[in-house]
Chains A and B, each alone.
Chain A
Amino acid sequence: MGALLKISIRNIHRHSRRTLSSAVTIAAGLTMFIFMNSMYKGMDYAAIDNMINLTTSSVKIHTQSYIKEKKSLPLDYGIDTYDSLTAYLASNQKVKSFTRRTEFLGQLSNYTDALPVVGTVVDPSSDTTVFNLHKYLEGEFFPGKSEKEIIIGRSLARELNVSVGDFVTLQALTRYESHNADEFIITGLINSSDPNLNKNTLFITYQDANIFLDLDNLITEIDLQVFRNQNLNIMTQEMEQVGTSIENHFSNLKTATFKELGAAFFEMAKQKQSFGMIFMLLILLIASVGIFNTVLMSVYERIREIGILRSHGMRGFDVMIMFCTEGFITGLLGSTLGLIIGSVANSFLIYKGFPLEAFAGNVNTTGMPVWGTIYGEWNPDVMFFAFIFGVVTATLAGLIPAYKASKMNIIETLRFV
């Protein structure tokens, strides 16, 4: 056994260039795998980030009675413990920011056509700390230059054939169920990655809504963000903890995290995941072909050596062990290298990010699930798996030709060149 190991190590050492090229192949495969996996997870996370920042926030808070009637978006069942709730949220270490919102149903018209819309009353000063709507805007986010400013979805604006600076008429039922209509001036158009948001939504301020909807500062919804965590699972857990503690403190309130709110999204993500799995398998397949090829070649080069050893009475089994050892050591080298390079590449992805815009260009990417810069994620289990995969594949790659050679006629192996 000692002799076998010696020959293996000598071979690895003597053919250091070949060993290096095998190791580099393995490393390249692993790096690609680790990087792509991180990228893929990052894309998922980016999509979730988008969702959290555009629509769901981390946790939404309503009263329990509001939830029951939520479908009709009633101007009723407001949060009457608003002051104590905000005081509580401000003192909660896990809560990064929060804002108030009130949703209502209405109709928007350009004097000829009218379209149904979901309106949202926002507090411009705090809304931007929770949502990043203002980043997806053509125009301005409530500049306050005039009275009755409105922001609407860009697709909606197209249908109504209006643009920034134009006037539109908004009709809705007030809090006391009387019809009201008024003219608003468009200051911004939403062009986001969420087609729904672009199509049938509008935003106005509490200042205007208090008059237009007779709102009297009725607040039906609080949105909050927790601090972002590199690890999505930890972040989700924190959201759930915040939600539960709010429900414990305020018995009439009901909370929902982005997970519950974005259930449809996660259904879709599941399908995407199986696609991602196939993609990852493909990368692994390519990597293993590379690994097999290099290790296989180095064994074939030495089939004669197998013949020599066997002519001295070495058993086929020992021969196999020897070549497996070589594959194993090469695999170990390559996998370690791959882990290092993969980690470096991944840390770039994690700390610097991958600018998707730079690749997609400035084209209209409406409907695209991801947007902006993608950040990677550390996945210790994936890295561990990749490492084991590299070692096992390389060992197997040594095993197969060695097995064949150990079963070959010795005279033939001796003639082998």
Chain B
Amino acid sequence: MLVLENIKKAYRKGDQIFNALNGVTAEINKGEFMAIVGPSGSGKSTLLNILGCLDTPTEGNVLYDGAELGKMSENELSSYRKKHIAFIFQSYNLIPVLTVRENIELPLVIDKVRTKKEISQKVMLMIEAVGLSGLQDRFPRELSGGQEQRVAIARALVKDPLLVLADEPTANLDSVTAEEIISLMKGINKTMNTTFLFSTHDPLVQKYAQRIAVLKDGLICSDERK
């Protein structure tokens, strides 16, 4: 489904050039639950951002079902993100002035495809799926970190994306909540066959991964499926 061909990313710091990614090649299949691990600064976030079309590689290609991201315009990329990609951030990134329900429906509202009724049905379904029933009218500041991340997951999944990218989704949570969240993601992965790609430092989280790629100095040094 997703093919990475020799992805390189260089950052310019003054007149020095720093290579965050040194030629990452991989293939990710539909329905995979894949963790990217590696030391700090190894390029995990950089890689996820590139896959999410938030950033562009200096060299190499990303292919989604054969379509080349590098050849898309800014608006096409926006549209691609809108349709197919969802993010879960370490710091949740909910819109503070919107309620749980409104935050979750946001991607659908932006997409402007579904009717109001379809949207509200879908949103209620997601709220149940992430275990937030009864909290739909709360604002983010009235939630715990774990609950906020559940909202973020529901928001990511509401549009049935091809790929969910999660950059250290549990880093701000305690170990019990972290496990709840990751098992929630895993459950959704199983029932909905959604592809997940997440970066993490947490060994507990790695336990749930079906595939683990280890990144070091901008290169994949091991890639194993369980």
Query: A residues within 8 Å of B by Cβ?
Result: 2-3, 6-7, 10-11, 13-14, 304-305, 307-316, 318, 409-411, 414
Contacts and interface: CB of A to CB of B under 8 A. Distances in A.
A311 B109 CA distance: 14
8 contacts: A2-B109, A3-B110, A11-B97, A309-B106, A311-B81, A312-B82, A313-B81, A316-B74
Nearest to A317: B75
Contacts of B137: none
B52 A312 contact: no
A305 B93 CA distance: 8
Contacts of A410: 54-55
Contacts of B78: 310, 313-316
B52 A6 contact: no
B49 A3 contact: no
Contacts, number: 64
Contact of B54 (A2, A314, A316, A411): A411
Given A313-B110, A314-B78, A308 B83 contact: no
Contacts of A3: 106, 109-110
B98 A312 contact: no
B95 interface: yes
Contact of B97 (A2, A10, A310, A409): A10
B95 A305 contact: yes
Contacts of A310: 78
B142 interface: no
A68 B141 CA distance: 87
Contacts of A411: 49, 54-55
Given A309-B106, A311-B93, 20 more contacts: A3-B106, A3-B110, A7-B95, A7-B97, A7-B98, A10-B98, A11-B97, A13-B97, A305-B96, A308-B95, A312-B107, A313-B80, A313-B107, A314-B78, A314-B82, A409-B54, A409-B55, A410-B54, A410-B55, A411-B49
B180 interface: no
A311 B110 contact: no
B87 interface: yes
